[in-house]
């Protein structure tokens, strides 16, 4: 590692080797050469064998991975054109094939088709991570589907839910992301062989005005590059609208992860749930007792960066004048790899956290006991009416005691004594024991949370994960995934 120059943290700290390799310079140039070979093969097969011979193609294939990066860099410094610099470097290794490398093509033939190939592969890596996160969360939701916990709205105590039910909310966000990602995959197709401004003029000249051969060339090149379809029309580049939608899809994953990470940080503060904490992990350089949710905090920061990228892509899309302008080049070199690397880093963290989250039931119970007397007031009210009391009169009494109990909690720091206050009021037809029985079973306040979780996992999540069984990691056997 060269410590004398700036190193991109996404590469040096956060992302997987697979994603790093995919967007490496070597992979990019290897894919350029794959595009040049596909073009030569298609030209040969469609009747230009007198110009593009099998011997030339064999030579190109033989030296496809023999890349002289130093020579290409030296040539680029001279001519200020990266594609032609690599055409030159490739030609030096393939002297017989040198005359036909890049024949009839524009630079964006290799650049765009390569971008599309790499993004297609990158989306598959993202999808693998995404479904594994969903599987982890499904396992966790199933385990804690019935554990009552305090719900929050406005970050204020609300009706109880269950830990598993809350987790289904995170799963649902990610399943929407998976839907959007798979739809995006259907939109990715080859740029194909379209020529300088998309009119295929040079290829039409090569094939002596044979329009059908030119159309076949476009289709055949796309097929050789692994695509089922090619864009029917382009300017010099494939439509930058696709980049915009790709960025939005990845940013959506970032937003889902951000919501989960912030919730985890809040739950950590309450000491009811935590992310995994390594045995020798240091929480703070000064405060030895601290267990900071550092992975969730990192997820939040990375997601914030990812969620900001779509604005760049939409601006690039909107500013492509006519057939193309070059202001898209520099920013895409940075933002496309970054978008995928950020999504990769976020999902790797998400997988790590969701695989071993820690729950503290006693702490959860403590919060429930603090708030349930307030939440049980409607139940107490209904039970009082059944004993012949006036609903309106009871409502006023309960409200008075609830406000007094709340004031005691907030201003004096004492325990919630609402039940004791109600029991001492002769107008309330219940003993303290009877009132405590009304809130003794936390589950009664969670509605259908447990059943909703079971239904959601069995009816929605598991069928959606079924096609991915081969790429899922360790999953709770009870889920039958």
Residues recognised as catalytic: 154, 284
Contacts of 202 (CB under 8 A, 6+ apart): 104, 105, 195, 196
- Distance in angstroms (rounded) separating the CA atoms of residues 52 and 207: 12
DSSP codes joined into one string, 309-339: THHHHHHHHHT--TT--GGGHHHHHHHHHHH
Cα–Cα distance, 354 to 219 (Å, whole number)? 44
Reduced to 3 states, what is the DSSP secondary structure of residue 162? strand
What are the structure tokens assigned to 253, written together? Answer: 């994953």
- Name, in order, each residue with C-beta under 8 angstroms of 338's C-beta and a sequence gap of 6 or more: 10, 305, 309
Alpha-carbon gap, residue 141 to 162, rounded angstroms: 9
Write the burial class of residue 426 (CB in 10 Å: 0-12 exposed, 13-18 middle, 19+ buried).
exposed
Quick one: angle between helices 329-354 and 310-318, nearest 10? 150
Rounded to the nearest 10°, the torsion over CA 370, 371, 372, 377 is 130
Give 274's strand partners: 358
In this structure, the dihedral spanned by the alpha carbons of residues 247, 252, 255 and 256, taken in order and rounded to 10 degrees, is -150
Taking the C-alpha atoms of residue 448 and residue 386, their distance in angstroms, rounded to an integer, is: 25
């Amino acid at each position: 590692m060269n410590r004398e120059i700036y190193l991109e943290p996404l590469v040096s700290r956060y992302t997987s080797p697979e994603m790093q390799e995919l967007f490496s310079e070597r992979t990019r140039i290897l894919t350029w050469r794959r595009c040049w070979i596909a073009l030569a093969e298609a030209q040969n097969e469609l009747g230009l064998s007198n110009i593009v011979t099998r011997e030339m193609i064999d030579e190109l294939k033989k030296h496809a991975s023999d890349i002289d990066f130093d020579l290409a860099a030296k040539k680029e410094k001279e001519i200020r054109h990266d594609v032609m610099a690599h055409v030159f470097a490739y030609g030096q290794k393939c002297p017989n094939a040198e005359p036909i490398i890049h024949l009839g093509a524009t630079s964006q033939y290799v650049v765009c088709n390569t971008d599309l190939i790499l993004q297609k592969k990158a989306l598959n890596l993202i999808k693998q991570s995404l479904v594994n996160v969903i599987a982890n969360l499904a396992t966790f939701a199933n385990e804690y589907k019935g554990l009552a916990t305090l719900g929050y709205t406005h970050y204020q105590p609300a009706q109880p839910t269950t830990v598993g039910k809350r987790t289904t909310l995170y799963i649902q966000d990610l399943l929407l992301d998976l839907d959007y990602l798979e739809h995006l995959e259907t939109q990715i197709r080859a740029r194909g062989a379209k020529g300088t401004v998309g009119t295929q003029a040079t290829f039409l000249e090569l094939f002596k005005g044979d329009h059908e051969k030119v159309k076949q060339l476009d289709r055949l090149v796309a097929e050789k590059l692994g695509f089922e379809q090619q864009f029917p029309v382009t300017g010099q580049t494939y439509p930058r609208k696709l980049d915009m939608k790709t960025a939005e899809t990845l940013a959506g994953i970032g937003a889902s992860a951000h919501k989960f990470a912030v919730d985890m940080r809040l739950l950590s503060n309450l000491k009811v749930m935590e992310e995994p904490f390594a045995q020798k992990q240091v929480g703070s350089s000064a405060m030895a007792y601290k267990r900071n949710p550092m992975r969730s905090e990192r997820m939040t920061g990375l997601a914030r960066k990812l969620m900001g990228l779509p604005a760049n892509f939409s601006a690039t899309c909107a500013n492509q004048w006519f057939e193309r302008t070059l202001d898209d080049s520099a920013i895409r070199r940075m933002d496309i790899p970054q978008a995928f690397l950020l999504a990769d880093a976020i999902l790797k963290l998400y997988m790590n956290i969701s695989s071993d989250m820690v729950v503290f039931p006693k702490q959860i119970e403590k919060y429930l006991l603090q708030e349930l007397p307030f939440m049980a007031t409607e139940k107490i009210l209904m039970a009082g009416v059944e004993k012949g009391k006036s609903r309106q009169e009871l409502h006023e009494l309960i409200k008075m005691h609830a406000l007094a109990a709340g004031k005691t909690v907030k201003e004096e720091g004492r325990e919630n004594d609402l039940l004791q206050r109600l029991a001492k009021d002769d107008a309330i037809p219940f003993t303290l024991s009877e009132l405590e029985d009304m809130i003794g079973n936390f589950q009664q306040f969670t509605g259908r949370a447990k059943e909703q979780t079971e239904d959601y996992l069995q009816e929605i999540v598991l069928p959606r994960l079924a096609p991915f069984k081969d790429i899922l990691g360790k999953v709770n056997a009870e889920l039958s995934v």
